[in-house]
Amino acid sequence: MGNQLMWEERYNIGVDIIDTEHKKLFRVINRLFSFIEEEDKSSWVCQEGIKYFKGHALKHFAEEEGYMESIHYPELETHKRLHQDFRWRILPALESEMELTNFSKESIRHFIGVCAGWLIAHTLTEDHAIVGEKIKKWGRLLPEEEQTAVIEVITRVLRELFQLDVRIVSECYGGEKFGKGIYYRLTYDKEDGGCQEIILVFEEKLLIDTAGKLIGDQSEKVDVMQMNAARYMAKQFVECIKNSFTFSQSNKLRSENLLTYEQFYRAFDRQPPQHSLLFGTRSGYFAFCVMASNLRLGKSGVSIDPENAMAEIREYLSKKEEESESNIGKKKLLLVDDSATVRQAMKELLQEDYQISLAESGISAIRCLTLERPDLVLLDYEMPVCDGAQIFQMIRSEAAFTDIPVIFLTSRSDKESISKIVPLKPEGYFLKGPKIAEIKKNIDDYFVKKDSGTRQVI
């Protein structure tokens, strides 16, 4: 990002009070970029600059919320929640890190990078939605007080059951892959003929450190005994929390399933979630997702019945082990594209030789980079709202991600389009089109040259 945020016309939403403050926040961040590069600037100067940024950000949030209220913006409460998440979770965590390191340059860079990335993404998505199309993905999230109640109950129950130090990572988990996961779904029939799905996602090492230890199982891999213990604990867990959200006691448990990641992602992507929460613990990540549908769901995943439970769980774990072994030595790719069709086509093209993670937006991409550090990012350049260039800038604004190679995917080969990509200094660009198979060959060649230390210009 060249250590500067460049204001572009696309950031304007056409509301003067909002656009003016956005520009001011960009300028403040650029001053902070300048401060940390100047050796004669003391940490005190940076601290004052950070206070100034925080003050302006909170002032801007209040003014923006006031404007939304004045126009009776229907998504005001959802927008407020995003502001509050930044104010009460992200900023305090960053400030705590700086204080613990006595405001080291590294921690200040981390603060600036996160704030810059958040500001760009928020401006181009949620803020543009004020005057444009509603962001549909989070359109069915339940009210904030209900979300808060669920978070509090989940946190308390996990602490009581497993003595875990639990923190909420996100209230808008996008279904991104993290580590080796176990995907467990409970499906309930509703009185109106529809269904409600609750999907619990456990990182494998979290199950080993919790369910495994509670039953005295010393296995270093998730086994049938741990899985059975985890299943029954999960059911009790759901019973403890389901009264905290809109979930009728008359709903009948229809089935329980173990899903692959692909099945989980399809279920997640099929309908907007009511709850989509990601938690972090010392032992790994945990996700809690609730989706309601008026459609009867077809059979999906390993169906667990009393008669077949042991055999089905054993087969599920065996297939996961085979998949894990087949991924040994494979490079990790993150594909960022807003088109589900393109994501699926690219996944089918590359999955035999590479481990593939998928993201549909900049926010999702940043979380994927955090949860599953890839060896290469394939980034669609032509995306709506937040385009590839802006996502690239978000990635490069984070010190932890600056060494992750990024290659653009583009359908345009004209000189004008390419001239916009080259100055960004990605590792290169690949052309999308009828000869999609050539992309795999180009990726193969890229890693061959990279591993051999050959200098590359793609």
Domain spans, the chain = 9-129, 144-324, 329-452
Residues 378 and 336: beta-carbon distance below 8 Å: yes
Residue 287 above 90 pLDDT? yes
More confident residue, 84 or 200: 200
Provide CATH code, domain 9-129. 1.20.120.50
Instruction: Give the model confidence (pLDDT) of 204-230 as tens digits.
Output: 888 888 877 766 677 888 888 888 888
Output the CA angle 229-198-191, nearest 5 degrees.
120
Write down the mean pLDDT value for the chain.
79
208-214 contacts at long range (C-beta below 8 A, 24 or more positions apart): 208/283, 209/162, 209/283, 209/284, 210/161, 210/162, 210/164, 210/283, 214/162
Q: Round to whole Å and give the CA distance between 65 and 79.
A: 8
Fold of domain 144-324:
Chemotaxis protein chec (3.40.1550)
Task: Tell me what pLDDT residue 201 has.
Answer: 93
Strand-pair partners of 275: 290
Instruction: Give the model confidence (pLDDT) of 36-76 as tens digits.
Output: 766 555 677 778 888 888 888 899 999 999 999 999 988 88
Top CATH class, 329-452:
alpha beta
